[in-house]
Structure 1
Amino acid sequence: MSADPASPGAGSPGPTVREPDPLRATRRSPRVRWRLLPWWVKVTLVYAGARVLTTIMAIEVARTQGPNAWTGAKPGYLDFANLWDARWYEIIGIGGYPRELPLTDDGHIGENAWAFLPLYPGTTEALTLVGLPWKLAAVVVAVAAGYGAALVLHRLMSRFLEPDRALFAVVLFCIAPVSPIMQFGYAESLGFLWLALALLLLVDRRYGWLVPVVIAWAFTRPGALAFALTLAMHFVWRWWHRERDPFPVRERLVVIGVGLFTAFAGFAWPLIVWGVTGQFDGYTETELAWRSAYIGQQELLPFTPWFQGGAWWATWNDLPAWFGMAAVALLAVAFGVMLFLPAVKRLGVDIRFWLASYGLYLFAVFFPQSSTFRILSPMFPIVGALAVPRSRWYRWSMVLLFVVLQYLWIAGVWRVDDYDWTPP
């Protein structure tokens, strides 16, 4: 008798059993999915996560904020994000700049709006024209500019670092100790954007596109003069290495032209202050008004403010003045050595030129006080060097350290305590 072909015993293959696909299972793992994401999606997620974390910390600190010159006790996030100099930007956006410089009782120029450049308050004011309240518009501009800076920074770091290192550099940038400034009512994040663009264009040798970026930068935050020095160093480097890296005459002329234009842009705002107020040193005297609370009214002598600050801080801590001045000298030496560390040299000569130029610029004119950490923030490309080590314990330690320092900055510097003479 022949077997029933439909019966299981008739040799039918039975139900098909699929073997597990290890490749498909691997693709479902979060780590692999993360690696497959486009770079800009990763940067977006990193930046968004960092800003959420900072917002939580700011709200927590705001609960302990007492009444002050800007807000009542326990202000909401937007009020807390618009303390300190944010009010100066609001004054500029609403009323512009004074034609007459205010004078103190002893006849010196006092603190006034001319210390702050116009592009950030102008952009914020433009958003208020479409219905956004000023405080919200100020935060929106800062957050958007910071996001743009993170994207450009990733492209810049990718010129020198492998993908994972470039992304970790962005992580450090987004959670840096002073990164809350990128979601407060300050112009810093807009300045970060122009700086990152300028460095990327310089590294890629797209010199002509620097002109509009420099114009925007020069009216956002100080630093154009330092970048002019960077361009001068870049020119000398390329000329010196022209045999192995051709430096055509046309490119030489373009670099010289852009460098001179950048230097002029760096002096443009002081010239505008002079033209409007009629006082030649109006901008310089305005800037000096902020340090008079520490050392009194003094003339600006280049390359002396850091030693003055070192002496002041040492005396304030019951130490001899020479101790503070010696500490400044050691700090300057350490900064010079840092520029030649292997991890920093990986970032290329142009980024190192910028770090050196901006460091020299600050050493020449800046008086170190509580806002030093914020003023140092344009050196943010250094995060590329900090991103070189790949060990997990190192990276998680850096993330934890930066988050803790970020909270301490919000609680100790941004938060206002009674008569607080330590502005961020």
Structure 2
Amino acid sequence: MHQLTHRMNTYLQAFNAYLYLLCYRFFTYWQHLHWSAQVLSIFALSRLWGWVIFSVIGAQDKYTPWKTGPMSYAEFISIWDSGWYEKIALDGYPRILPTNSEGIVAQNTWAFYPLYPMSVKFIQELTGSAYYPTAIALATVSGFIASLVVYLLFNRSISWCRQHRLHLNNRSSRAVESPHHLALWATAAFAWAPVAPILQVPYAEALNMVFLGLTLYLMMTQRWALGAIAGILAAFSRPVGVPLGALAGIWWLICMYRSYHQTPQAHPTVSTLRGVLIKHLGQGVSAISICAAAISWPLIAWAYTGRMDAYTATETAWRQSHLVLFQPWIAQSQEYFGPAGVPVLIMSILGFTFLMASRCARRVLHPVLNLWCYSYLTYLLLFLYPQSSTFRLLLPLFPLLVVFIGMSGSRAYRVLWIVASAIFQSVWVGWLWHWKELPGGGDYPP
């Protein structure tokens, strides 16, 4: 018996040594891959995890409005708002807005932007494929492209900060982490974020992440014409046009202000201002183009239906109330937290402000990314009705991930962050994507 135990321990030690050597060789090989291969491999592993979560939880369904009994992976990810996008691809948008018995505008497709469903329809016509396989493929491929764009964005942002904010990077205790290494970790945090499963379902989020990330990257690199094109496409994929237009306009004014006051003349003149305007003409045209795209969709809805409030009336149909700026956040905070609701809301806003002003944020966030986070959060506070879908709507704040990952160079901290995020993915899918009818009917939307 003793000899058998000794032999088993010997085999086990040999197996552990072989496994360690195999992992070591794999990571050595992986570290020498091109950055794009590293990013895509990370994102592929995260999407495999998403497939496992959707497949396991979908198999638990007994009844949903879409199907009775367990659902396959493709069936399960094609529920909720996926049906609205399919309807747009098949039937377009209604000329006459549907209303209920009281004459109030009912839920309809005008709340959903056209770029994603029309892209699916275009691919269908080219290939002759069915809607959902095409929609799932486009969303998944877009997610992979978005991961590459996010890496480039993070790498550029960190590199810029290293060049322009050297006083924030003096660390005598250890070497400064390379932009590539930190950007790769931050991209992994994006791929494994709690709501990242949305990047593989037939929603518009993945495609929007591509164009939103490209717009921010092109603004950072001062490629204004391409940035305008990407910004317009982003504005027609998801409702990010208003904060994106605000970002473009404010950044344009900031750049002109800096140029005006950096003139070598002792007292800038009118000719100096003219020169500044000419210098930033391309940026100005780009900003105006994105702002025009931001208001185009409500105008198109008005022109097509003949009703001025077609878009806003449709958006508020989900909340069953009129559009009131900021007030829903106060009401919902009191609904969920009682008397402590407003203080919690105020502390959350202050916490975000302190985070954006922190040394860690200034060490990794380019001013464009900083300004984008402020613009988008302000947009949410003004127009969003906070409810269960709010978690998904926070995805465009992904630049914050490089701040959180950059707070510590500890590998244990970063691995724990990603593992926790992966666990929360299963919580998000199991709690919100999985259908569980409420006592009053319906369910919380993801």
TM-score of the alignment, normalized to the shorter chain, above 0.5: yes
Instruction: Specify the code of the residue in structure 2 equivalent to 1:287.
Output: E
Runs (4+) off by over 4 Å:
243-248
CA deviations over 1:207-229 (Å, ceiling 9, x no partner): 11122112211211011110111
2:218 aligned with 1:201, yes or no? yes
Instruction: Specify the code of the residue in structure 2 equivalent to 1:422.
Output: Y
Q: Distance in 1 between matches of 2:404 and 2:352?
A: 15
Determine if contact 1:119/1:220 at 8 Å carries over to the other structure. yes
Q: In the TM superposition, what are the counterparts of 1:20-419 in structure 2 within 5 Å?
A: 29-129=25-125, 130-161=127-158, 162-242=179-259, 248-292=276-320, 297=321, 299-314=322-337, 319=338, 322-345=339-362, 346-388=364-406, 389-418=408-437, 419=441
Instruction: Specify the code of the residue in structure 2 equivalent to 1:133.
Output: A
CA RMSD of aligned residues (A): 2.0
What displacement does 1:249 show? 3.5
Q: 3-state SS of the aligned residue for 1:339?
A: helix
Q: Distance in 2 between matches of 1:281 and 1:169?
A: 40
Q: Distance in 2 between matches of 1:409 and 1:251?
A: 48
Determine if contact 1:66/1:417 at 8 Å carries over to the other structure. no
CA deviations over 1:377-409 (Å, ceiling 9, x no partner): 111121111221221210111011100111100
Q: Distance in 2 between matches of 1:279 and 1:421?
A: 31
Q: Distance in 2 between matches of 1:311 and 1:285?
A: 25
What displacement does 1:336 show? 1.5
CA deviations over 1:183-236 (Å, ceiling 9, x no partner): 111000111011100000000011111221122112110111101111223123
Determine if contact 1:308/1:367 at 8 Å carries over to the other structure. no
- Counterpart for residue 170 of structure 2: none
Structure 2: 5+ residue runs without aligned partners? Answer: 1-20, 159-178, 265-274
Identity of aligned residues (%): 29
What displacement does 1:48 show? 0.8
How many residue pairs are counted as aligned between the two chains?
389
Instruction: Specify the code of the residue in structure 2 equivalent to 1:151.
Output: L
Determine if contact 1:127/1:137 at 8 Å carries over to the other structure. yes
- Counterpart for residue 165 of structure 2: none
Judging by fraction of residues, say which structure has more helix.
2
What displacement does 1:343 show? 2.1
Change (3 A) 1:141 1:245: farther
Q: Distance in 2 between matches of 1:235 and 1:128?
A: 40
Determine if contact 1:238/1:245 at 8 Å carries over to the other structure. no
Change (3 A) 1:373 1:30: same
Instruction: Specify the code of the residue in structure 2 equivalent to 1:284.
Output: T
TM-score by length of 2: 0.83
TM-score by length of 1: 0.88
Determine if contact 2:256/2:277 at 8 Å carries over to the other structure. no
Q: Distance in 2 between matches of 1:226 and 1:55?
A: 32
* Higher mean C-alpha deviation, range 37-46 or range 329-338: 329-338
What displacement does 1:61 show? 0.5
Q: Distance in 1 between matches of 2:312 and 2:157?
A: 38
What displacement does 1:245 show? 9.5
Q: Distance in 1 between matches of 2:206 and 2:263?
A: 35
Q: 3-state SS of the aligned residue for 1:29?
A: helix
Instruction: Specify the code of the residue in structure 1 equivalent to 2:332.
Output: G
Q: Distance in 1 between matches of 2:226 and 2:263?
A: 21
Q: Distance in 2 between matches of 1:120 and 1:154?
A: 23
Determine if contact 1:63/1:75 at 8 Å carries over to the other structure. yes
Q: Distance in 2 between matches of 1:261 and 1:304?
A: 31
Structure 1: 5+ residue runs without aligned partners? Answer: 1-24
- Counterpart for residue 423 of structure 1: 445
What displacement does 1:248 show? 4.5
